[in-house]
A and B are shown apart, each in its own frame.
Chain A
Amino acid sequence: MTSLPDRPVKADPKLFEIEEKLRQGNYLKDENRSLNRLLEDDAALIASLNMDMAFVISQLDMFYKEASEGLGEPVLLENSYEVSFREDRGKIACPWGDKFFAPKAVVYARNIKTGATLRFSVLGLHMLKRHGFFQGQGSPFRLEPKELKSFFEL
């Protein structure tokens, strides 16, 4: 399934630049794999888990929108999720260089039925949506595909 080799010479140099920025920004924390490999491994993992990523992303998007309107107050969504928003001052430019400036904000969500919790940063949501990047192992805001699957009971 993973076919591209791991060595620098063989991958898109743009990806190294991004990888370097991601490492500096702590988005790859304990990740030993190259960015190239990580992206492919996670895509393969999603395929093997048989998850509908479009659905997951639309849900996360909805959480972000509803939570941010709550200004820090928990918001109840369709009696099945409780989401809240934590925002600090400052903006973070997306390390992928696509002119996206994310607010320094974190969305917390709880599945009321199962009690499972989930948290994601707004930048993390953007990077997942636009770049298929779940962040590296050990990175504070990694969106673990298995956790997403169990949170949404897919």
Chain B
Amino acid sequence: MYLSYLLPPLAIAGLATALAIIILLAERYLMDYGEVELKVNDKLYKVKGGSTVLSTLKQEKIFIPSACGGRATCAYCKVTAVKGFGEVLPTEAPLLTKEDLTKNVRLACQIKVKNNCEIRIPDELFSIREFRARVDSITDLTYDIKHFIFRLLSPPEIEYKPGQYIQFQSQPYGDVSDSVYRAYSMCGLASERNQVELMVRLVPEGICTTYMFKHLKAGNEVIITGPYGDFYLRDSNRRMVCIAGGSGMAPIRAILLAMTPEEIERRRPIFFFGARSRKDLFLVDEWREFEARHPAFKFVPALSGPEPDDDWTGATGRITDVVAQFVPDAKDCEGYLCGSPGMLNACVEILCKLGVDEEQIYYDKFA
């Protein structure tokens, strides 16, 4: 009697349960890839299958550069897929160039480790570590550039070539619900291995710099990975022409501070620092002192638009013109540049014109 009332709900419940079991079984057998072998360059790793290359490598303590954290928007996490990965996916296609496609370059955050496979990455990525660090101090250099010192907690030391950069991970704040990663050059003494120093300029509406400027306080813990990059001092006898603008001073400072007195004597570095007006200049005294200690070194701050009350008697004009004025013949020089992409292009152009071999002009490619 009651059965006729109970039957319909029971039938639907039974059907739903049966389908749920099918879904669970499918998940159990289809989604479990078991243990697979991932070959990175010549090293073999036994990993759990099913995740992206980026997160699988992170488990194995290999850190591929990535700014967006795996959302296929930054195109930094490119790796060469040797074997075991299918065709290019629609999600990564917009970020791959023609050259990438011919060389089998793929986005590590999109391709998944499903069976035994092999990838190639630059060797230096193996030495990259993830560090927990504590903010030691934050000081203003100008109205929009700050100097950050981080003390490393674990691992306690970092080994890097002066000029290299790290990736800083921001935490969610306010409206921003994501963690993002951004690259900043280290500006401190490479011999002080227990700390990392950065110079950061506030980017208008920038997610990471706003976090660092408005939300980060001394004592906070942060995550950084590094070191990355192939911008460092090359060994030669050529004179060094260093050009920087804004927070681009960071890697140049790391390079110059790490040089021995003999090296400075031999390389006779000249450092051009471009700014708009006096309020954009910083650390001038430190460089004057450095100049006094090393007569072979020269510091040339140049203002492109000094204010009337700046009392500026130094070099004025566009940085490229100032360089041409101080180094009319640069045949025996090497260029070390850091700044905005527009400035980099203009400086490469002028240095080539002054006789520098384009092969001997170095700057960070992360721009």
A–B interface present (Cβ within 8 A) = yes
Q: Which A residues have a C-beta under 8 Å from some C-beta of B?
A: 21, 24-26, 29, 68, 71-74, 85-93, 95, 97-99, 101, 103-106, 119, 140-141
- Alpha-carbon distance A119/B205, docked complex (angstroms): 12
B220 at the interface (CB under 8 A from A): no
Asked whether B342 lies within 8 Å of A87 as measured between CB atoms, the reply is yes
Q: Are B304 and A87 in touch, CB under 8 angstroms?
A: no
Interface residue B86 (Cβ < 8 Å from any Cβ of A): no
Q: Report whether A90 and B366 are in contact in the complex, using a CB–CB cutoff of 8 Å.
A: yes
Collect the chain A residues with CB atoms within 8 Å of residue B204's CB.
Answer: 86, 106, 119, 140
Instruction: Answer yes or no: B71 CB below 8 A from chain A CBs.
Output: yes
Q: How far is the CA of A141 from the CA of B182 in the complex (A)?
A: 21
Neighbour of A71 across the interface among B67, B74, B176, B318, CB < 8 A: B318
| B-side interface mostly | loop
Report A-chain residues with C-beta under 8 Å of the C-beta of B265: none
Query: If the complex has contacts A26-B176, A86-B204, are A68 and B67 also in contact, measured as CB distance less than 8 A?
Result: no
How many chain B residues touch A (CB < 8 A): the figure is 33
Does residue B95 face the partner (Cβ distance < 8 Å to A)?
yes
Bound-state Cα–Cα, A73 to B277, Å: 11
B199: min CB distance to chain A, Å: 12
Q: Which residues of A contact B94 (CB under 8 A)?
A: 93, 97-99
Complex: A119 Cα to B206 Cα, angstroms:
15
Q: Which of B182, B341, B364 contacts A87 (CB 8 A)?
A: B341
A90 to B245, CA, bound (A): 15
Is B305 positioned at the interface, with any CB of A under 8 Å from its CB?
Answer: yes
List, in ascending order, chain A residues with CB within 8 A of B304's CB.
71-73
Assuming A21-B73, A90-B67, A93-B74, is B342 touching A71 (CB within 8 A)?
Answer: yes
6 closest residue pairs by CB, A with B: A97-B94, A87-B340, A140-B205, A89-B367, A88-B203, A99-B94
User: How many Å lie between the Cα of A29 and that of B366 in the bound state?
Assistant: 28
Most interface-central of A86, A88, A141 (chain B CB within 10 A): A88
B175 within 8 A of A: yes
* Contact status B175-A29, CB under 8 Å: yes
Q: Are B75 and A85 in contact (CB under 8 A)?
A: no
Please, which residues of chain B bring their CB within 8 A of the CB of A106?
A: 204
Q: Which of B259-317 contact A (CB under 8 A)?
A: 276, 304-305
On whether the beta carbons of B342 and A68 are closer than 8 Å, the reply is yes
- Contacting B175 at CB < 8 Å: which of A26, A104, A105? A26
Q: How far is the CB of A95 from chain B (nearest CB, A)?
A: 7
Chain B nearest CB, measured from A153 CB (Å): 26
Judged by a CB distance under 8 angstroms, whether B32 is at the interface is: no
- Asked whether B367 lies within 8 Å of A90 as measured between CB atoms, the reply is yes
Q: What is the distance, in angstroms, from B183's C-beta to the closest C-beta of chain A?
A: 7
Is B342 within 8 A of A85, CB to CB?
yes
Measured between C-beta atoms, what is the minimum distance from A24 to chain B in Å?
A: 6
Q: Does B178 contact A (CB under 8 A)?
A: yes
Are A73 and B175 closer than 8 Å at their CB atoms?
A: no
Q: Which residues of B contact A140 (CB under 8 A)?
A: 204-205
When chains A and B are docked, how far (Å) is the Cα of A55 from the Cα of B366?
Answer: 35
Interface residues of B in 203-254 (CB under 8 A from A): 203-207, 245
**Sampled A-B contacts (22; CB under 8 Å):** A25-B73, A26-B205, A26-B207, A29-B175, A71-B304, A71-B340, A72-B304, A73-B276, A73-B304, A73-B305, A74-B305, A85-B342, A87-B340, A87-B341, A89-B183, A89-B340, A89-B364, A89-B366, A95-B73, A99-B95, A119-B204, A141-B205
